[in-house]
Amino acid sequence: MRRKISIILLANFLVLLATQARAQQLIEVKITSSPSGARVYLDDKFAGRTPLKTQIAEGEHNIKLDYREGYISIDKDILVTPKNDSFHYRFKMTGGEIFGSVVWGLVIILAIMVISQPSI
């Protein structure tokens, strides 16, 4: 009887250890962005800049990416698994940066039009 109880306790202990080991499994993840060079924060800790390869525990995490002024920061919750280990983010420009680019584009077009006008 004691032997049977010991075997059951040992089996339960081994199952518990296997479960904890799986929960602590580290996954190598790849994080990229367009444009590259963004600062990456995983669970509010600086992890590096894109493109980035790092190891993180399997499960849910928060990722934040900042590029530079004029671009909208990214803040997402992600699920890391052995099959879900690559993440790509595309930054969008803020409205002011887009407007500035359009205005400068028009200025350049007008300058070319004026320069290319034949002299009378």
Strand 86-90 to 26-34 pairing = parallel
Give yes or no for a contact between 26 and 42, defined as CB atoms under 8 angstroms apart: no
Asked whether the whole model's pTM tops 0.95, one would answer no
pLDDT, average across residues 87-101: 78
CATH of domain 25-115: 2.60.40
Asked if residue 117 has pLDDT above 80, the reply is no
As a whole number, mean pLDDT of residues 66-92 equals 95
The Cα–Cα gap between 32 and 48 comes to 11
How far, in Å, CA of 37 to CA of 48, rounded?
9
